Structure 1
Amino acid sequence: MSEDTTVFTAVGRRKTASARVRITAGEGKFTVNGRDLEEYCYTELLAKKAALPLVVAEKQGQFDIVVKVMGGGPVGQAGAISLGLARALQKSDPELRPALKKAGLMTRDPRMKERKKSGQPGARKRFQFSKR
């Protein structure tokens, strides 16, 4: 990597997945955990969800993207990549924020797994009631 290359980094999270995204000017290589995006996100829907900020910002093929993602499942990881990528794109060009925000890509999804409470077998489930 040359000295004059600007790197924009951002973190995206969803559920228990966390993605660290680095974007640099380049020819459009998209790698996730050392593998190609289409190989890592094994369905077309997941790959599209992860790369949606590039489509909204109309920046396909202009950035090299390197992502390290951990935790969660495939859908949570795709959502984390999407949020991290949107945040990194906004850092690279603040003019993109209105378009990304209108598409709903700048909002962190707050839904998390509800914790198990004591005296119950799960988060909401109760032990069976016995009258006699």
Structure 2
Amino acid sequence: MQVVTPKAVLTELLVLLRRSFVQYLRYAHAYGMPTTSEITDVITDILADQDLLADRVAERLEASGCPIPNIEFPLSFTDTNDLSIEFLLQRAIRHTQQDLAKLDAIAEQLTRQASLRSLVDEIRGMTQAHLESLEDLTAVLAR
């Protein structure tokens, strides 16, 4: 089994939170994106949750003497500029599902690191709730 360092785990969590697809939507221009609606409210709430947890992860990295890495969005996200909000929500759901799988894989490696495992579990719970919110939004758009 691969040895997982706290720095590696915290860095991976920071990337996951600060460079999620929903974070990218903050900067992307969605076609047909309303300026005020349930959609923007949910996305704003997800962004706030991710920002809060990302700050906590960054604080733990700094406290352990590790520098905060410069993190870029995946290049594949740039092909989603100016697409419909319906398409972007489906993409956000898919990426959030992938994030959950990554969190599960990280958690499996942390059997002896209770503090980190607790943080991963908290982020996983938040991410699961975000997935459910995004899925609920697809029903709003279907109306």
The answer to whether the superposition gives a TM-score over 0.5 is no
Compute the TM-score of the two structures, normalised by the length of structure 1: 0.31
Looking at secondary structure, tell me which structure has more strand per residue.
1
What is the TM-score with the length of structure 2 in the denominator? 0.30
Structure with the higher helix share, 1 or 2: 2
Report which of the two structures shows the higher radius of gyration computed on alpha carbons.
1
